[in-house]
Amino acid sequence: MLDTLIQTVVQSAIVVLVPMVVAAAVQLLRRLHIQLTADQEAALTEAVRRAALEAEEWAAGRIKAKLPVTSYQKLQRATESLTEPFGLTPQEAESRIKAVLPQLGLGAAANFPGPRSGPSSSQP
């Protein structure tokens, strides 16, 4: 009799607890996937910034050596450093590089004054 009671309680507990454990595991996996995705995106954004800055340094070295350099060559150099390691197409890499240039004060956007922040931005 006691064995039957214990068996019934355990079966009932399993029926109630298993779906709860599965639901919790699914939620945890979703959160981990979102976190991994956010971490991967942050790493890619940092790699894009580094690629753009490295291309600028490369161009500065060429200019210093009195060698010609074009903006297309800089874009190509930055693009090549992103396509293979991150699996981006050249178009995706170019798009990301062009998006980060204004944040770095580079590219055509660097020639236009943007909104400034801080106390020096207030005008009479």
Confidence (pTM): 0.62
Cβ contact 109:100 at 8 Å: no
Rg, the chain, Cα only:
27
DSSP type of residue 89: -
- For residue 22, being part of any structural domain is answered with yes
Structural domain for 46, as ranges: 15-107
Q: Using one digit for the tens of pLDDT, what is the confidence trace for 7-18?
A: 787 777 777 777
Backbone angles phi, psi at 115, to 5 degrees: -65, 135
Strands, E assignment, the chain:
none
- For residue 123, being part of any structural domain is answered with no
Q: Is the pLDDT of residue 109 over 80?
A: no
Question: What is the C-alpha separation between 5 and 92, in angstroms, rounded?
Answer: 63
Give me the sign of the Cα torsion angle 79, 85, 91, 95.
Answer: negative
Q: Using one digit for the tens of pLDDT, what is the confidence trace for 44-89?
A: 999 999 999 999 999 999 999 999 999 999 999 999 988 888 888 9
Cβ contact 56:74 at 8 Å: yes
The number of folded domains in the chain is: 1
Q: Using one digit for the tens of pLDDT, what is the confidence trace for 21-38?
A: 777 777 777 777 777 688
Q: In this structure, which amino acid lies at residue 83? A: T
